[in-house]
């Protein structure tokens, strides 16, 4: 499997998905099945169209990758539910699973390829399979959701337990819920009905205890409380369930905004409006069995380390494994959870709808205990697909498709979500106009309307430094630009003859039409394209420039969304979310990701650490005037000093410095804090022109409070005057578990990149504008390394090294 991503193997191994496969296992039951009232064979996930047999007897069929399948192989009458032949304990039983490609099925869509991933339509058992045996009753699902009653100022927990009751009569008993740290202990008398019975308990938290709420990353702690739920039923045995109780409320606020048509679209967590900062998550590998806890931890921790507080789990992949949501709970990453429908039209026949209803019930019951999940979303881009007629539906048939859309996402998925989970909001699609879409019959005329809901926006031909091309939307849930992964990432899965930007390999890995050319076009707006006659040097330079371009483009767009959060201009604004496309990669290829396959940070991810910082000054130009906004996610107002420094490209000594003291940056808002015409600034800082100078600026407060240093270019860097070839040196030393890189430069160096090849880890900063002679950067290793290894692997690149 480790070779699957090499060279052209996505084509070479295509035959695998075109064949049928049988998985079989011979085993002996470790217990006497006749002593149990019910014995089930449980599949947590089968991918996807399969026939399941035991001893050549068909138990059932599967056609939904996201469903849980349970077959009763033995019940108290001594016969299989699916056959008249009893299974005895001394029998050797052979499970056979025949997997084949079928008709329209519910499967991970991107396994058939996407514009960032290969076609590896996997088949087989992708989650746990087990045999379980029980008498009387068995706990299938256990979930808890928190609520806060404002009038009583009290937290409560709704605990839902769903059982399979084998007994033909109701079973009575006691349930005790204990949360020691909150001095809360309650006992309930309950009765389980035969069949699938559920118990819903409402536990009021002791008002004399102080409840610490769960907060997103950057806004507070992610406190959870150990809780034990004990079921003692009259049948004689007890079940003890240990879990973590979290307390968090979420509201999706859609209400009128003064001075603007339309409605707001933002999230309130524990009563506090939160600006959503983050990205979109795709499957971390084409082969889900390779996605370990460590894989997930590395990617999610990298998101949190870049000051993100949210990710959108995109609807063309998979519902992630339990550990994914556990980690998000632990580190404060909010999840916008799509259901697995994307960019397609789906059937609404009864058989398919029953399968989807089972899928949605299962996934909501499995996941709703996680405080990290703040939203259920019905699909990815399917409202827009119908509204914009992506599939060339004749006008006469349009109503039929809208009716099918409403049937699937509203009358089935939404209905189940609202029944199963009353603790968080639901939207039918993304992008959507939210309540306006509902008003228009769930498919709005223009789902990209900036006055409502969320938007997806991509523009590869316009100059990305021009902020006026971006939509002043309520919520930007998708936007992005491509880049290539590092040479060290590509090198592992390619050959020497592939190391050219125009090689067959490079063209084959690019799944987005004209993607490689679009990157060069975008680079060309502001940078000189590589001209080296050495093909490998030229490729490395091009890779570097794609990453610089992507980082600078998404920085510009994200900063635009952040500074738009507190203002309405021509009826647009109050932007309260920025989720760029995309966080991670599924394989080694050019894509929109900021984390490469394997977890290495691209320059974009280092930039994200800054443009998502809790305190940030942001600059833009409008009609020859420079504006700087103070953007803050902090919970209190701060009086700060704004430092604006102008450098000429030819000197490490500043041309002029301005310190504006007593600048008030308001809590959780974006306010203008500085305004000056470029002409006045250049006159004040003599010997400066647009082409010869650059502006840097930061905010500094008391008690060590400081923003990252931001920059504003006054011209394209390809036109910069005075940029000199800098010599940058680095010394490396070890300090406990980290490594210190001390850099020295002889001249100003734009976009300084430190790369240690395949050594796993990340730097504290990268891709930066070096305007001082010395800079200290920390390397955090993810695996054991040493000074010698790092020195040997280190490559330092800045813009002037590209020739």
Is 702 annotated in the active site? Answer: no
Q: Which helix (H) or strand (E) element contains residue 98?
A: strand 92-100
Least reliable range by pLDDT among 167-171, 427-431, 503-507, 699-703: 167-171
Q: Which CATH homologous superfamily contains domain 8-125?
A: Galactose-binding domain-like (2.60.120.260)
Is 255 annotated in the active site? Answer: no
Res. 28 pLDDT band, cuts 50 70 90: confident
Q: What is the mean pLDDT of residues 577-598?
A: 98
Res. 247 pLDDT band, cuts 50 70 90: very high
Smallest CA-to-CA distance from 278 within 24, 551, 477 is with 477
Using DSSP's 3-state secondary structure scheme, residue 403 falls into: helix
Decide if 745 contacts 726 (C-beta within 8 A): yes
Smallest CA-to-CA distance from 67 within 365, 492, 400, 434 is with 365
Q: What is the mean pLDDT of residues 629-654?
A: 97
Pair of tokens at residue 63: 């056609």
Residue 581 has pLDDT above 90, yes or no: yes
pLDDT in tens, 541-573: 999 999 999 999 999 999 999 999 999 999 999
Residue length of the chain: 803
DSSP codes of every residue in 420-463: H--SS-EES-BSB-THHHHHTTSS-S-TT-TTSSBEEE--SSS-
Res. 33 pLDDT band, cuts 50 70 90: confident
What's residue 197's pLDDT?
Answer: 85
What's residue 84's pLDDT?
Answer: 30
Give the distance, in angstroms, between the CA of residue 258 and the centroid of all CA atoms in the same chain.
Answer: 32
Pair of tokens at residue 738: 């980290």
Using DSSP's 3-state secondary structure scheme, residue 147 falls into: strand
What's residue 75's pLDDT?
Answer: 67
Smallest CA-to-CA distance from 606 within 547, 559, 561 is with 547
Alpha-carbon span 348 to 332, nearest angstrom? 37
Q: What are 62's strand-pairing partners?
A: 50
Buried b (16+ CB within 10 A) or exposed e, 174-195: ebebbbeebebebeeebebeee
Q: What is the mean pLDDT of residues 66-94?
A: 57
Given 381, 436, 572, 596, which residue is catalytic?
381
Decide if 317 contacts 208 (C-beta within 8 A): no
Smallest CA-to-CA distance from 81 within 65, 59, 101 is with 59
pLDDT in tens, 498-525: 999 999 999 999 999 999 999 999 999 9
Res. 152 pLDDT band, cuts 50 70 90: very high
What's residue 100's pLDDT?
Answer: 56
Decide if 142 contacts 161 (C-beta within 8 A): yes
Given 160, 478, 557, 596, which residue is catalytic?
478
21 vs 5, 679, 680, 752, CA distance in Å?
22, 71, 73, 51
pLDDT in tens, 379-393: 999 999 999 999 999
Establish whether the linkage from the previous residue to 679 is cis, with ω within 30° of 0: no
Decide if 792 contacts 756 (C-beta within 8 A): no
Alpha-carbon span 606 to 450, nearest angstrom? 29
What's residue 236's pLDDT?
Answer: 72
What's residue 32's pLDDT?
Answer: 86
Decide if 657 contacts 681 (C-beta within 8 A): no
What's residue 99's pLDDT?
Answer: 63
Radius of gyration from C-alpha coordinates of the chain: 29
66 vs 62, 335, 336, 510, CA distance in Å?
10, 19, 18, 29
Long-range pairs for 684-692: beta carbons < 8 A, 24 or more residues apart: 684/656, 685/646, 685/655, 685/656, 686/655, 687/648, 687/655, 688/646, 688/648, 688/655, 689/721, 690/714, 690/715, 691/715, 691/719, 691/720, 691/721, 692/648, 692/649, 692/650, 692/720, 692/721, 692/722
Least reliable range by pLDDT among 223-237, 423-437, 649-663: 223-237
Using DSSP's 3-state secondary structure scheme, residue 337 falls into: strand
Residue 576 has pLDDT above 90, yes or no: yes
Sheet holding 654-665, edge to edge: 654-665, 638-648, 693-700, 710-713
Pair of tokens at residue 743: 């850099």
Res. 276 pLDDT band, cuts 50 70 90: very high
Residue 738 has pLDDT above 90, yes or no: yes
pLDDT above 90 as % of the chain: 91
Domain with CATH 2.60.120.260 in the chain: 8-125
- The CATH class, in words, for 616-719 is mainly beta
Domain with CATH 3.20.20.80 in the chain: 273-611
DSSP state of 64: B
Q: How many CB atoms lie within 10 A of CB 92?
A: 9
Alpha-carbon span 578 to 561, nearest angstrom? 7
What's residue 92's pLDDT?
Answer: 38
What's residue 95's pLDDT?
Answer: 63
Q: What is the mean pLDDT of residues 11-32?
A: 90
Pair of tokens at residue 729: 């040196």
What's residue 80's pLDDT?
Answer: 38
DSSP state of 87: -
Q: Is 112 exposed, middle or buried (0-12, 13-18, 19+ CB in 10 A)?
A: middle
Pair of tokens at residue 127: 């989650």
734 vs 601, 737, 742, CA distance in Å?
21, 7, 11
Decide if 331 contacts 355 (C-beta within 8 A): no
Smallest CA-to-CA distance from 345 within 314, 390, 396 is with 390
Pair of tokens at residue 586: 């599924």
Across the chain, mean pLDDT equals: 94
Residues 6+ apart with CB under 8 A from 288: 122, 126, 318, 321
CATH code of the domain made up of 135-246? 2.60.40.10
CATH topology of domain 728-797: Immunoglobulin-like (2.60.40)
What's residue 89's pLDDT?
Answer: 34
CATH architecture under which domain 273-611 falls: Alpha-Beta Barrel (3.20)
What's residue 629's pLDDT?
Answer: 98
Domain with CATH 2.60.40.10 in the chain: 135-246, 616-719, 728-797
Give the distance, in angstroms, between the CA of residue 360 and the centroid of all CA atoms in the same chain.
Answer: 20
Smallest CA-to-CA distance from 527 within 501, 510, 513, 547 is with 547
What's residue 94's pLDDT?
Answer: 57
Alpha-carbon span 333 to 477, nearest angstrom? 15
């Amino acid at each position: 499997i480790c070779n699957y991503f090499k060279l052209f193997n996505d084509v070479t191994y295509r035959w695998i998905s075109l064949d049928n496969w049988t998985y079989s296992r011979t085993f002996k039951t470790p217990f006497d099945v006749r002593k149990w009232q019910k014995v089930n064979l449980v599949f947590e996930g089968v991918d996807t169209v399969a026939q399941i047999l035991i001893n050549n007897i068909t138990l059932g069929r599967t056609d939904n990758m996201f469903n849980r399948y349970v077959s009763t192989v033995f019940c108290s009458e001594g016969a299989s539910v699916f056959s008249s032949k009893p299974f005895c304990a001394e029998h050797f039983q052979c499970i056979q699973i025949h997997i084949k490609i079928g008709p329209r099925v519910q499967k991970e869509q991107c396994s058939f390829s996407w514009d960032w991933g290969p076609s590896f339509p996997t088949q087989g058992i992708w989650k746990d399979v087990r045999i379980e045996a029980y008498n009387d009753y068995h706990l299938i699902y256990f979930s808890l959701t928190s609520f806060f009653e404002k009038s009583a100022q009290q937290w409560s927990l709704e605990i839902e337990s769903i059982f399979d009751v084998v007994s033909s009569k109701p079973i009575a008993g006691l349930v005790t819920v204990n949360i020691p740290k909150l001095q809360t202990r309650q006992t309930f008398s309950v009765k389980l009905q035969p069949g699938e019975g559920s118990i819903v308990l409402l536990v009021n938290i002791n008002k004399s205890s102080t409840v610490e709420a769960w907060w997103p990353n950057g806004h507070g702690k992610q406190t959870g409380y150990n809780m034990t739920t004990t079921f003692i039923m009259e049948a004689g045995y007890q079940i003890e369930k240990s879990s973590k109780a979290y307390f968090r409320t979420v509201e999706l606020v859609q209400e009128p905004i003064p001075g603007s048509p339309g409605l707001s679209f933002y999230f309130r967590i524990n009563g506090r409006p939160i600006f959503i900062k983050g990205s979109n998550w795709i499957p971390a590998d084409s082969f889900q069995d390779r996605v370990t806890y460590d894989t997930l931890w590395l990617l999610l921790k990298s998101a949190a380390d870049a000051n993100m507080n949210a990710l959108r789990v995109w609807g063309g992949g998979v519902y992630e494994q339990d550990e994914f949501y556990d980690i998000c709970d632990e580190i404060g990453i909010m999840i916008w959870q799509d259901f697995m429908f994307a960019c397609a039209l789906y059937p609404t026949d009864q058989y398919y709808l029953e399968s989807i209803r089972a899928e949605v019930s299962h996934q909501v019951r499995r996941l709703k205990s996680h405080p990290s999940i703040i939203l259920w979303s019905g699909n990815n881009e399917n409202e827009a697909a119908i509204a914009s007629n992506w599939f060339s539906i004749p006008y006469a048939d349009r109503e039929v498709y809208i009716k099918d859309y409403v049937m699937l996402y509203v009358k089935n998925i939404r209905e189940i979500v609202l029944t199963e989970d009353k603790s968080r909001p639901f939207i039918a699609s993304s992008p959507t106009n939210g309540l306006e879409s509902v008003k228009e019959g769930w498919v709005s005329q223009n789902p990209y309307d900036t006055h409502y809901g969320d938007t997806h926006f991509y523009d590869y031909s316009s100059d990305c430094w021009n902020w006026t091309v971006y939509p002043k939307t309520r919520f930007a849930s998708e936007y992005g630009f491509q880049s290539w992964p590092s040479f060290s990432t590509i090198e592992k899965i390619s050959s020497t003859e592939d190391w050219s930007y125009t090689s067959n390999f490079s063209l084959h890995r690019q799944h987005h039409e004209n993607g490689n050319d679009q990157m060069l076009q975008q680079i060309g707006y502001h940078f000189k394209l590589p001209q080296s006659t050495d093909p490998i040097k030229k490729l490395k330079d091009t890779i570097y420039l794609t990453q610089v371009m992507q980082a600078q483009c998404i920085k510009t767009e994200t900063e635009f969304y952040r500074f738009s959060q507190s203002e309405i201009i021509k009826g647009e604004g109050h932007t309260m979310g920025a989720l760029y496309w995309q966080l991670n990669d599924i394989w080694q290829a050019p894509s929109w990701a900021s984390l490469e396959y394997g977890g290495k940070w691209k320059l974009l991810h280092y930039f994200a650490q800054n443009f998502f910082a809790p305190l940030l000054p942001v600059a833009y130009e409008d009609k020859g005037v420079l504006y700087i906004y103070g953007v803050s996610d902090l919970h209190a107002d701060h009086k700060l000093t704004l430092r604006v420094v102008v450098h000429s490209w030819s000197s490490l000594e500043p041309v002029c410095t301005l310190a504006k003291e007593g600048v008030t940056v308001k809590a959780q808002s974006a306010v203008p804090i500085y305004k000056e015409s470029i002409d006045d600034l250049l006159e004040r800082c003599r010997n400066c022109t647009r082409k010869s100078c650059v502006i840097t600026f930061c905010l500094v407060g008391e008690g060590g409070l400081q923003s990252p240093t931001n920059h504003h270019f006054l011209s394209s860097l390809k036109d910069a005057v005075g940029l000199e070839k800098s010599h940058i040196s680095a010394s490396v030393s070890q300090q406990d578990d980290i490594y210190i890189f001390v850099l020295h430069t002889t001249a100003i160096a734009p976009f300084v990149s430190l790369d240690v090849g395949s050594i796993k880890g990340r730097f504290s900063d990268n891709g930066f504008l070096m305007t001082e002679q010395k800079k200290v950067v920390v390397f955090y290793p993810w695996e054991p390394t040493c000074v010698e290894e790092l020195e040997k692997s280190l490559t330092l690149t800045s813009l002037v090294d590209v020739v």
